[in-house]
Amino acid sequence: MSSSFKFSEWPPTLTGSQLEALSVHATTYALAHSLLYLPPGQSQPTVPTSAIHAPFALLPSPFPRKPFLEAKRLQRIYNVLYARIAMDVGFLDNVMGTEHGLGQVDDFIGQLWSGWKLLRDEGLAQPLHLGIFRSDYLLHSPSENDRFLKQVEFNTISASFGVLSQRVSELHRYLYNLTSYYNVSSYITADNFPENNTLSTIAEGLAAAHSAYNVQSAWILFVVQPNERNVFDQRWIEYELFDKYQIRVIRQTFDQLAATATVDSTSRLHINASTDTVPSGSVEISVVYYRSGYVPSEYTTPNHYSVRFLLERSRAIKCPTIALQLAGSKKIQQVLTQPDVLESFLCDPKRGKVFTPSEVEAVRNTFMAMWGLEVSEDGLTPDHEATGAGREEYGVRRARDKAHSLVLKPQREGGGNNVYKDDIPAFLDKLDPPERQAWIAMELITPPQGTGNYLLRAGNRDGSGTVKTEVISELGIYGWALFADSEGVIEKEGGWLLRTKGKENNEGGVATGFSVLDSVLLVDD
């Protein structure tokens, strides 16, 4: 795929006065339109007293039109794919719970899987699952004129920054309408700013699940982190649910839920919280929406797992269920690259709609090469014969040989967990053989080189303000799916995110400080 657009020539040159004017307009717009974080601090006050703007790029970043539209098209297939994975209990048990399964070597995954298995044995009260998804991609540019869409990961829990991403796309459109970006680039035109409707998409998915629960007076529960800084990204979903659907939201942490959550004899989930907004002292919950619970550090006591399992036991519709959270693990992403696995989910008429060979191939074309560190040369089973003294599994040997072009990923979300390139051999030396099953190796995506942008972060102590740097941009496409074992998948695609980071940073999380929020400027191939 050739491209007439020169990524190495972005961003266009701005004068000092133009840069200052855009920065002033952008930051004041951000503060006025809730493109906000709470300020850093070990604890946040119950009543917020101040806020800062979230980090963002001053100009939209270029992204080829065809791969962007392809990512949106593929989201509908990915929605169905991960719904079917979550419904395939035998498949998940095989990956998570067998002798060499992920749950045997990763304590966090093991806790979730074993708790889910016990709940299944008891009998789950709610067959419906709700997934609010985000599929993340980078452009892969192995040569100057090639641009391929490659998936970084698929998120099935707490797919965040949807609302703030929409706010950034609105900010960039505002700057264009106000200044035309001083006509510094012929690519900056109204037609090249794609629509971004992430807020309405996420709220629609939650409202669909609430409707399926069929108790209009019930509330939606947001399970949140203590001292959450990214609260505005969440609050706008709450406001949209109330304004558009008349659905109320209650926010609780795991610690709060330990004291307030109960499940009655009919498996209905109630939150006992006497506040001004809950005058009756108790509300029934229709949907449990997790904006936390995706990393081990959020389960600091056994009580937190107990709360998670209590919620899972109830009739409330979970977003996600434990099954759907497990389906989003890196190990599942790697297993899907093995021969015939993708086809088993998308081409079996017993599962519902059969996708065409070209659709399946389009999904497979987004995969980079991946393998488990424990695998044998056939890529499927542990290599028991290669574990003697002085010998290593094929997966480890291959990772050592190709370390310069790899990333190692554990089963973790949120950024800051991966091991890259030259750090890999020393890391493998320290990794105990049983722990290798918890890691996958993935060939690195090579993004276009030389692309830059101007990045703004609030409160730069060195006074640098807007910083120009070479960057890499990661595209995320949102979607949702509502489904049950015996029913078809109701799903929708809508909205997107662009995260941009300095080229020197391997990791990509906004909340972890590596990236800034950005928006797409479509350029033709």
Residue ranges for the binding site for substrate?
Answer: 134, 157-160, 228-230, 234, 291-294, 499, 510-511
What is the rounded CA–CA span in Å between residue 285 and residue 217? 9
**Which residues sit in the known binding site for ATP?**
153, 330, 409-418, 420, 442-445, 474, 501, 507
**Which residues sit in the known binding site?**
134, 153, 155, 157-160, 228-230, 234, 291-294, 330, 409-418, 420, 442-445, 474, 499, 501, 507, 510-511
**Which residues sit in the known binding site for Mg(2+)?**
153, 155, 413
Cβ atoms of 133 and 159 within 8 Å: the answer is yes
What is the rounded CA–CA span in Å between residue 233 and residue 235? 6
DSSP 351: G
Considering only CA atoms, which of 519, 479, 421 is closest in space to residue 74? 479
Three-point CA angle 338, 344, 350, nearest 5°: 170
Crossing angle of helices 162-179 and 16-32, in 10° steps, is 130
What is the rounded CA–CA span in Å between residue 107 and residue 440? 16
What is the rounded CA–CA span in Å between residue 171 and residue 23? 11
Crossing angle of helices 65-87 and 89-97, in 10° steps, is 90
The catalytic site residues sit at 134, 153, 155, 160, 330, 409, 413-414, 499
Asked whether the CA dihedral 397, 402, 403, 407 is positive or negative, the reply is negative
What is the rounded CA–CA span in Å between residue 377 and residue 393? 9
Considering only CA atoms, which of 382, 373, 335, 293 is closest in space to residue 115? 293
Both tokens assigned to 156: 């099935």
Both tokens assigned to 63: 């992204």
